Each structure stands twice: as C-alpha cells, then as structure tokens.
Amino acid sequence: MTEIQQNTLKKRIFSGMQPSGEAHLGNYLGALRRWVGMQDEYDCVWCIVDDHAITSGGDPAEMPSSVFDLAVSFLAVGLDPERSTIFVQSDVHEHTELAWLFNAVTPVGDLERMTQYKDKAQHFESIPAGILNYPILQAADILLYKANAVPVGEDQRQHLELTREVARKFNARYGETFPITEPLIGEDVGRILGLDGNAKMSKSLGNTVGILADPDDVWDKVRTAVTDPQRVRRDDPGRPEVCNVFALHRFFTEENAREEIEAGCRSADLGCVDCKRILSGNIATSFAPYRERATHYREHPSEVRDVLDQGAEKAQKIASETMQEVRRKMGLNWRNAIP
C-alpha cells in the first residue's frame, strides 16, 4: 500500500501559511484554530510556504527566523506532529517541480484574471513572474499530496478554483491523476477586519495582535482599535453591530458576558475603553497556554527542528510517489522507458 493510499478512512487536506514570524490574531481566527480542530477528522498536511514568501521580496536574512517563529506558533496553538504532517515547503523540492510542469496546462489568461494578481501587481513597477505564477505553485502544493479538500477563506476561493481547473486539464491531457479538490470554507469566521478597520489583518500594517504577545502588548494593540465611528463621546449610545471590537468578542467572550457588553454599549453604560479592556484581557487569557508552550519550544529549538525534519520526510514520501506518476504520464521517464 502506498503512502497516498494508506489512510483510506480519512480524507486528506492541505493548507499552508507564509512565514512572516509569529502568527497573529488574523492567522489564528482565520486558519489555525480551525486547523487544530480538524486533526482528528482529516489526514492533515500543514505547510510553511517559504517558496511563496520570496515572491514578495523581503530580507533573506530574516527568512530562517520567520520560519522558526511560525513553526513555534503552529506547535504552540496545538498543531500536533503525531496527528498531522508539519513541514517547510522548500524542504520538499517536488513542490516547485510540479509547479513548473503545471505551466504546461495552465493558460496565461487564467492567471491574469486572478483578483489577487491584479491587486499585488499594482505594487510593482516591474511585475515578477512569480506573482503571476503564484496560483500555479498553490495548485502544486495541494495536488502534490492529492488533497481531497482545502480549508480556505472566502478570499482564496478563486485560487482553489484554478487548482481544480489545473487538475481537470492535466487529467484530460495525461490521464486521471489528481482529485478535483473541494473547498472547506469556514462559515463561522466571516470577514475579520484589522484593528484599524482595514479590510485585512496584517502584521505589515500593524493592525493585529501576535498570538504569543504578553498581556501588556495585547492591550497596547487592542486599545488603538477602531470602534463605532458615530460614538464620539463616552455617553453616546453605541451600535455593537458595526463595531469591530464587539465582533471580536464573539471569539473570546462567553455569550452571557457578550450580552451584557452589548446592552451596556447600546445604553452608553459601558464605554469603548472598558469594552476594549475586557476584550484584551480575554484574548490574553485565551492565549496564555500558547505563550507557555511557545516558551518551551524557544528554549528547546531542536524539538522544532525535529518536528519539521520528520514532517518533511513524511511529505517527501508522498510527493515522490506523486511525481513518479506525473513524470511517467508526461513522458519524463526516459531512463525507465528505454531498455
């Protein structure tokens, strides 16, 4: 039985995250907390996608520490190497090999229609080819492991549809090889705005909270968060339904306490600063076990290395099987084909 076939009772899922250092609140709410909960139901493959990260530039000297810090975050929140495969993308070279081969079946027009390509291209005077080809590498990441499904946010649905189309085109040209991967959209998350009200939480924008930040640092970030723009004075009644701070309470504050906060906001008995202090305290309390585990891993970096090495070894076995099949079907196996 092959590595790909061995776990027939569970569907395989794949997802990845770019290494920008310690994971932040948006990473946690949008992905990590969900990944942790999927580990018993699915055969999970979690990847730190450093090959993707280089398309955005950045300082190469900072990449190794960014990879390590994200790996610490993965382990701290509860991604379990006993129940998941956790590895770094560049340690499995088949990712970039399959991405190159997928260029043979992916029309340029499909890539140019990607919304994220159009958005990112605006930031470059000369657009790197990697920005255009980014979705092809994403397709390779997923299909290399023949993932049945991918947990994604709504903003990634278009990229996953391209992955599905790449699989269809490859299968039509070279024979049935890849599954048509299904999206697993997190319906309970919704749109998570940055603390400053921007459309996306981002470390580069400084509008989020590190999940391993100490309580004082959490408060430093949360206290700057925007609230109801029409609530100017302390005694103005608020509108919780349009307040991003109140929206975040849904993830960190128990229902009965949320009801009290909502009532206090509408009646102006509870000020925005008080609301923020409650949220900040609840975030810090919720993340306390993660900070404790992160301290352990930072003091024992060899354990993190072992997890990533073992994960890469597991991933490599699956990737190698897939690539042997792909090379054979594409006629790239002349050594074995010629007597």
Specify the 3-state DSSP secondary structure of 176.
Answer: coil
Q: Which residues contact 229 (CB under 8 A, 6 or more apart)?
A: 242
Catalytic machinery residues: 120, 200, 203
Q: How far apart are CA 115 and CA 138, in angstroms?
A: 15
Distances in Å between the alpha carbon of 108 and those of 91, 122, 290, 306, 330?
A: 28, 18, 43, 40, 20
- Splitting the chain (339 residues) into consecutive groups of 10 residues, what average pLDDT does each group show? 56 95 93 95 97 88 96 98 97 98 95 83 82 94 97 81 96 97 78 79 86 95 90 83 92 95 92 94 97 97 98 98 97 86
Q: How far apart are CA 255 and CA 233, in angstroms?
A: 27
Strands (E), the chain: 12-17, 43-48, 84-88, 149-152, 182-185
Q: How far apart are CA 264 and CA 234, in angstroms?
A: 12
User: Number of helices and strands (H, E) in the chain?
Assistant: 16, 5
Please choose, from the candidates 259, 281, 282, 285, the residue with its C-alpha nearest in 3D space to the C-alpha of residue 270.
Answer: 259
Q: Considering the domain 12-192+301-337 in this protein, what is its CATH number?
A: 3.40.50.620
Q: What is the pLDDT of residue 91?
A: 98
Q: How many CB atoms lie within 10 A of CB 302?
A: 8
Say what the pTM is: 0.91
Instruction: Report the sign of the C-alpha dihedral through residues 201, 74, 70, 92, in that order.
Output: negative
Is beta strand 84-88 parallel, antiparallel or unpaired with respect to 43-48? Answer: parallel
Distance of CA 299 to the CA centre of its chain: 25
Residue ranges of the chain that CATH labels 1.10.240.10:
215-286
pLDDT, tens only, 159-211: 899 999 999 999 999 999 999 999 998 766 666 788 988 777 888 788 899 99
Domain 215-286 - what CATH class? mainly alpha
Distance of CA 293 to the CA centre of its chain: 20
Residue ranges of the chain that CATH labels 3.40.50.620:
12-192+301-337
Q: How far apart are CA 251 and CA 245, in angstroms?
A: 11
